[in-house]
Chain A
């Protein structure tokens, strides 16, 4: 580790940045009072609704996350869809 690593960004991320990012995530969850169990339940229900309309390739790969935005917090769902052509 030295100047060289520093220039090429090989140093691990600064712990203060890690702390800030983790905190922001934790606080979004704290503020909406959503427990991990509620999150799971919500995720299952979202999948149910989506599957009524489109084919979801891998329900396990669905990611539902809470993130902090500039002026509002966001609930984001990332749902990978199957790529098979319709017949």
Chain B
């Protein structure tokens, strides 16, 4: 059976779309047949992140409403012949598609692909429900910020309520220097708070912006640390045991000593 993986977060702007594009590409680079679906109807973006915005003819709503065959709406990636995008409609809203439509679509696609990655819209309403309906695995993307983690917690509850098993966590936009200064929650803080399994940590990386500017994805850039982090997540999705990147700078012995001193006093 195909892996049908939904990426969601609750909060917007934490990097769901970037993560979907990078994981899809990384999986295709490892020889998998992949389709990425933009489920954010009305706010289409996965196409620009992948640099495929000029090739769109049909979209998800066209498929669901029977104006074209599924295959006709799939846009082949520029580099990888086994990687496809199913774009969202830009001029419709989430009500144009139902959870049952998504299940039927993914069942059909599952016959031809190894991985179906669904980029969920932000929020917990219709669009989110559509996005998780067909999933057999859910990845929750967050950043080490309070509002993102709070929303992620809410999503964990909903995913479990929809009986989608235990979601796995991707912590995005980690800033090691801020963590070293004590000004950003670290990986263990976030994992402890959310109490779900971690599948990836991704550093805050300017290469994400420059790649996106060019309509490319960071996993294509050998020098991108974020790209390496996404490759590692893709490998874990394939069942490989890959160690996590070491992003957090170890505080010096001196500051560890003072840090301990400070905690003891409080």
Where the two chains meet, the residues of A that have a C-beta atom closer than 8 Å to any C-beta of B are 6-9, 11, 13-17, 19-20, 22-24, 26-27, 30-31
Do A24 and B193 have beta carbons less than 8 Å apart? yes
In the bound complex, CA of A26 to CA of B149 (Å) = 11
CB-defined A-B contacts under 8 Å, sample of 23 = A8-B265, A9-B261, A9-B262, A9-B266, A11-B262, A14-B182, A14-B183, A16-B182, A16-B184, A19-B145, A19-B146, A19-B185, A20-B189, A20-B193, A22-B146, A23-B149, A23-B150, A23-B193, A27-B150, A27-B193, A30-B154, A31-B153, A31-B157
**For residue A15, which residue of chain B has the nearest CB?**
B183
List the 3 closest A-B pairs by CB distance, nearest first.
A14-B182, A9-B265, A9-B262
**For residue B179, which residue of chain A has the nearest CB?**
A16
Do A6 and B258 have beta carbons less than 8 Å apart? yes
Do B150 and A30 have beta carbons less than 8 Å apart? yes
Q: Which residues of chain B from 122 to 172 have a CB within 8 Å of any chain A CB?
A: 145-146, 149-150, 153-154, 157
Please give, as numbers and ranges, the residues of chain A lying within 8 Å of B154 by CB-CB distance: 30
Mask for B226-266, Cβ within 8 A of A = 1, else 0?
Answer: 00000000000000000000000000000000100110011
Please give, as numbers and ranges, the residues of chain A lying within 8 Å of B153 by CB-CB distance: 27, 30-31
B93 at the interface (CB under 8 A from A): no
Supplied contacts A11-B262, A26-B150, 11 more A-B pairs, CB within 8 Å: A7-B258, A14-B181, A14-B183, A16-B178, A16-B184, A16-B186, A20-B185, A20-B189, A24-B193, A27-B150, A30-B154
Please give, as numbers and ranges, the residues of chain A lying within 8 Å of B145 by CB-CB distance: 19
Interface size on B, residues (CB 8 A): 22
Please give, as numbers and ranges, the residues of chain A lying within 8 Å of B193 by CB-CB distance: 20, 23-24, 27
Where the two chains meet, the residues of B that have a C-beta atom closer than 8 Å to any C-beta of A are 145-146, 149-150, 153-154, 157, 178-179, 181-186, 189, 193, 258, 261-262, 265-266
In the bound complex, CA of A26 to CA of B150 (Å) = 8
| Of B146, B181, B184, the contact of A23 (CB 8 Å cutoff) | B146
Would you give the shortest CB distance from A61 to chain B, in whole angstroms?
Answer: 24
| Of A7, A8, A15, the contact of B182 (CB 8 Å cutoff) | A15
Would you give the shortest CB distance from A37 to chain B, in whole angstroms?
Answer: 20
Would you give the shortest CB distance from B152 to chain A, in whole angstroms?
Answer: 10
In the bound complex, CA of A48 to CA of B193 (Å) = 35
**For residue B265, which residue of chain A has the nearest CB?**
A9
In the bound complex, CA of A87 to CA of B178 (Å) = 61
Do A16 and B150 have beta carbons less than 8 Å apart? no
**For residue B184, which residue of chain A has the nearest CB?**
A16
Please give, as numbers and ranges, the residues of chain B lying within 8 Å of A13 by CB-CB distance: 266
**For residue B193, which residue of chain A has the nearest CB?**
A23
Please give, as numbers and ranges, the residues of chain A lying within 8 Å of B258 by CB-CB distance: 6-7
| Of A6, A16, A26, A27, the contact of B189 (CB 8 Å cutoff) | A16
In the bound complex, CA of A16 to CA of B145 (Å) = 9
Please give, as numbers and ranges, the residues of chain B lying within 8 Å of A8 by CB-CB distance: 265
Please give, as numbers and ranges, the residues of chain B lying within 8 Å of A6 by CB-CB distance: 258, 262
